[in-house]
Chain A
Amino acid sequence: MKTPVVLSVAVVANSVGSVCLARGMKTFPGLDTTGIAWLLDAAAQVLSNPWIILGVFLLVIFLAAYMAALSWADLSFVLPATAPGYILTAILARIFLQEDISPLRWAGTVLIVVGTWLVARTYSPQTELALKGQPVDSRGQRPRSTQSI
């Protein structure tokens, strides 16, 4: 139960946060100064932009949920399981950022979702990573061979 909940929080926070961040960076007006003054000016503008602040806050939430999931699940599972966010991000970008998305891009997005669905099917609560980095089975035994491909 906790895996779908935590991953859903991660996905939504990631997508909405990314869109906020992109919105903030796009409203970045041109700067007249150069050199170190440009860097400080840019940093001040970036840090005081509400979209960027909101985006960063949401991405921090994503990170917390993501790290929590990693404490019990494989990286190779959690990673693609957070990928449905790509569809959500594309839709949000279309609505809020008025970005055009070609049919080819949509096809690619669909492929990504198919791929993540495939990976989601391989979830095994018993694949555990022991502290030494060797996978153990559910009885805590180390298999003789760790080759999987």
Chain B
Amino acid sequence: MLDFTLLMIVILAGAGGDVSVTRGMKAVGEVSSLRPSLLIRIVGRVATTGWIWLGVLCKAIAFAGLLALLARADLSWVTPATAVSFLVETLAARYLLRERISPTRWAGACCVGLGVALISL
């Protein structure tokens, strides 16, 4: 039961974090160069974007949950089990970020979810 609760925390906080970070990175703009002067400017923009900080907070919560889960379960179960977050995050991308998601992409996400179910058995 505790494992399941921890898993839920990891998935939901992870999804929230990814959505926020995506929102933030789109606002920062495309990272197209590794030139140090440009990178510093980009890091500066990232550090001052609220969405990124919200995402970092959510990810920190997910990370804490993940560490707790790793101390209790096999990595080769934990990592794929958290992959069900693909479905959750694809849904979030569709409805919160308004991304266009083709049937192929949905099929792919469902495949991943199915694979996760198999792995958790």
Interface residues of A (CB under 8 A from B): 2, 18-19, 21-22, 25-26, 28, 46, 67-68, 70-72, 74-77, 79-80, 83, 86, 89-90, 93-94, 97, 99, 101, 104-105, 107-122, 127, 129, 131, 133-135, 146, 148-149
Contacts and interface: CB of A to CB of B under 8 A. Distances in A.
Nearest to B66: A21
A119 B105 contact: yes
Contact of B31 (A28, A72, A83, A120): A72
A109 B94 contact: no
B70 interface: yes
Given A108-B120, A115-B112, A131-B27, 6 more contacts: A25-B71, A71-B30, A101-B76, A108-B116, A112-B83, A122-B108
B119 interface: yes
Nearest to B71: A25
A131 B26 contact: yes
Contacts of A116: 108, 111-112
A131 B30 CA distance: 12
Contacts of A104: 118-119, 121
Contacts of B71: 25-26, 28
A129 B98 CA distance: 8
B11 interface: no
Interface string B67-102: 100110011111110010010011011100111111
Given A109-B80, A116-B112, A75 B30 contact: no
